[in-house]
Structure 1
Amino acid sequence: MSFQLRREEVLDASGLAAMLEESPARAAQAILLAAGEGEVEAQALLGQILLDGHGIAQDQPLALRWFGIAAGRGHLMARNMLGRCHEHGWGCTADATIAAQHYRIATDAGLDWAMYNFANLLATGRGVAVDHLQALALYRRAAELGHAKSMNLLGRYLEEGQVCPADPVAARDWYRRSAEGGDFRGQFSFAAVLADEGRIDEAVIWLEKALAGGNLNFLRVASEALSSATDPRIQALASRYQLRTDELSSNA
Structure 2
Amino acid sequence: MTDFRLRREEVLDGDQLRAMLEESPARAAQAILLAAGEGVVEAQALLGQILLDGQGIAQDQVLALRWFSIAAGHGHLMARNMLGRCHEHGWGAAADASIAAQHYRIAAEAGLDWAMYNLANLLATGRGVVVDHSQALRLYRHAAEVGHAKSMNLLGRYYEDGCHCPQNLPAARECYQRSAEAGDFRGQFSHAAVLAGEGRIDDALGWLRKALAGGNVNFLRVSSESLLGSHHPQIREMAVQYRLRLSRLTAA
> When the two structures are superposed, what TM-score results if normalisation uses the length of structure 2?
0.95
Which residue number corresponds to residue 204 of structure 1? 205
Q: Give the direction of change, closer, same or farther, for the CA distance of 1:132–1:219 in structure 2 (3 Å limit).
A: same
Distance 1:5 1:198 in 2: 53
- CA–CA distance in structure 2, aligned partners of residues 55 and 160 of structure 1: 44
How far is 1:11 from its partner? 4.5
**Matched residues in 2 for 1:99 and 1:9: separation?**
29
Where does 1:95-110 land on structure 2 (aligned, <5 Å)? 95-110=96-111
| Whole-angstrom CA distance in 1 between matches of 2:106 and 2:139 | 13
Q: Is the 8 A contact 2:8 2:39 kept in 1?
A: no
Alpha-carbon offset, residue 23 of structure 1: 1.0
2:180 aligned residue: 179
CA contact (8 A) 2:160 2:167 kept: yes
Q: Does the CA-based 8 Å contact 1:152-1:175 persist in structure 2? A: yes
CA RMSD of aligned residues (A): 1.7
Query: Does the aligned pair in 2 maintain the 1:158–1:170 contact within 8 Å?
Result: yes
Report the equivalent of 2:123: 122
- 2:40 is matched with 39
What residue is the counterpart of 2:62 in the other structure?
A: 61
Residue aligning to 1:17 = 18
The runs of at least 4 consecutive aligned structure 1 residues that moved more than 3 Å come to 4-12
CA contact (8 A) 1:192 1:203 kept: yes
Q: How has the CA–CA distance of structure 1 residues 5 and 114 changed in structure 2, closer, same or farther, with 3 Å as cutoff?
A: closer
Q: Which residue of 1 aligns with 2:157?
A: 156
User: In the aligned structure 2, how far is the partner of 1:67 from the partner of 1:32?
Assistant: 13
Q: Which moved more, 1:28-37 or 1:150-159?
A: 28-37
* Superposed displacement of residue 162, structure 1: 0.2
**Per the alignment, in what secondary structure is the counterpart of residue 44 of structure 2?**
helix
Q: Which amino acid aligns with 2:90?
A: G
Q: Report deviation, 1:8.
A: 5.9
Q: CA, structure 1 residues 7+250, in 2 after alignment: closer, same or farther (shift >3 Å)?
A: closer
**Matched-pair contact (CA < 8 Å) for 2:159–2:166:** yes
CA separation of 1:74 and 1:200: change in aligned 2, threshold 3 A: same
Shift of residue 16 of structure 1?
2.9
Distance change (3 Å), C-alpha of 1:6 and 1:185: closer
* Number of residue pairs matched by the alignment: 249
Distance in 1, Cα, partners of 2:37 & 2:191: 45
Whole-Å Cα distance in 2 between the matches of residues 54 and 8 of structure 1? 21
Distance 1:170 1:217, change over 3 A: same
The match for 1:244 is 245
What is the Cα deviation at residue 235 of structure 1?
1.6
Q: Kindly report which structure 2 residues correspond to 1:74-153, keeping only aligned pairs within 5 A, or say none.
A: 74-153=75-154
CA distance in 1, matches of 2:39, 2:21: 20
Query: What TM-score results when the alignment is normalised by the length of structure 1?
Result: 0.95
Percent identity of paired positions between Structure 1 and Structure 2:
73
Structure 1's 197 and 70: CA in aligned 2 closer, same or farther, altered over 3 A?
same
Q: Residue 190 and residue 35 in structure 1: after superposition, are their counterparts in 2 closer, same or farther (change >3 A)?
A: same
1:193-228 Cα offsets, whole Å, 9 max, x none, are 000000000000000000000000111110110011
CA 122–6 in structure 1, closer or farther in 2 if over 3 Å, else same: closer
Determine the C-alpha separation between the residues in 2 that align with 1:201 and 1:16.
Answer: 39
Give yes or no for contact 1:43–1:67 (8 Å, CA) kept in 2: yes
Q: Does the 8 Å contact 1:10/1:31 carry over to 2?
A: no
Q: How far is the alpha carbon of 1:28 from its aligned partner?
A: 0.4
Q: Name the CA shift for 1:7/1:121 in 2 (closer, same or farther; >3 Å).
A: closer
CA contact (8 A) 2:6 2:32 kept: no
Please give the per-residue CA displacement for 1:113-160, whole angstroms capped at 9, x wherever unaligned. Answer: 000000000000000011101000000000001000000000000000
* Residue of structure 1 equivalent to 2:189: 188
Q: Counterparts of 1:185 and 1:16 in 2: how far apart (Å)?
A: 27
